[in-house]
Amino acid sequence: MARKETIFQGVATALITPMTEDGVNFDQYGRLIDWQIEQGINALVIAGTTGEGSTLTDEEHKACISYAVERVAGRVPVIAGTGSNHTDYGVQLTKYAADAGADAALIVTPYYNKATQNGLVKLFEEYASACDIPIIAYNVPGRTGVNIEPSTYAKLAEIDTVVAIKEANSNISKIVETFALVGDKLDLYSGNDDQITPLLAMGAKGVISVLSNVVPKETVELCDKFFAGDVAGSAALQCKYTEFVKDLFCEVNPIPVKEAMVLLGYCDPIIRSPLYRMEDQNLAKMKATMQELGII
């Protein structure tokens, strides 16, 4: 089977969702989208994990997707986070994203109720049979409690509209095994900001990034250097931001990245329960790192 069409190469920012006490702050959202594109990012992921998609109301979730598609206006691909542990709801939301003009859907494996490996194949077949939109399969076992095994990816590769993987497994050996099985059939994106250059070295097309919310230009540069053959330069940037990446994940994402964006003036300090504001000592540590790097 030939490799399927690539959605993007480089950096897709897993965008935060700026909020008010009553809903989504679309003024801030629009400013943030424009800034990200101006900084050179290659795609945007809307209402994913970092965008607090699991606590958005149905109306908010759809409004974020529609607004982003309209605001982006074709400048970069818009990837809608539409996966759910309620399959019927996820399918309906994916249909909505397709009708709204999203370029692809990011489908996380079902969390809490999980699924068997055969069940995962059936799940993605359900999405594919209901929607024509390209699908990125999102593997994040630390949140969902289930890992997509390399042999399962081989079966997913046979589904026409499953075109890529967002791999946040952290197990490099499993990821290498996945490349061996489907690297010529599916695009793979790093889902971990601490593994961008290592996975590019294996043949990844880029990263779906939390880091790039805060330093989009530099995250793009990390990928661009690699693609231009400057592996050492890419590795140097990976190392430069190692401590900041640790800060961004010292508490559950997106708590720290939202605080970082507050420091940059792109959103208000509002995050939706069951997540809460960052612990003072962790915020102080992250702020010091940002100052050391010249981000603030």
End-to-end CA separation in angstroms for the chain: 48
Rounded distance between C-alpha atoms, residue 35 and residue 111, angstroms: 32
Of the candidates 29, 96, 127, 138, the residue annotated as catalytic is 138
* Residue 240: partners with Cβ closer than 8 Å, 6 or more residues away: 293
Q: Is 138 a catalytic residue?
A: yes
Rounded distance between C-alpha atoms, residue 204 and residue 8, angstroms: 11
And the tokens for 190? 């790093």
Instruction: Report which secondary-structure segment, H or E, holds 11.
Output: strand 10-14
Rounded distance between C-alpha atoms, residue 199 and residue 179, angstroms: 10
Rounded distance between C-alpha atoms, residue 139 and residue 191, angstroms: 8
And the tokens for 200? 């590019």
And the tokens for 106? 């990011």
Of the candidates 62, 96, 153, 166, the residue annotated as catalytic is 166
Q: Are 12 and 206 in contact (CB under 8 A)?
A: yes
Q: How far is CA 77 from CA 45, 212, 215, 218, in A?
A: 9, 16, 19, 20
* Residue 230: partners with Cβ closer than 8 Å, 6 or more residues away: none
Rounded distance between C-alpha atoms, residue 167 and residue 164, angstroms: 9
And the tokens for 242? 């190692």
Q: Are 15 and 31 in contact (CB under 8 A)?
A: no
Amino acid at 103: D
Q: Is 276 a catalytic residue?
A: no
Q: Are 64 and 96 in contact (CB under 8 A)?
A: no
Residues serving a catalytic function are 138, 166
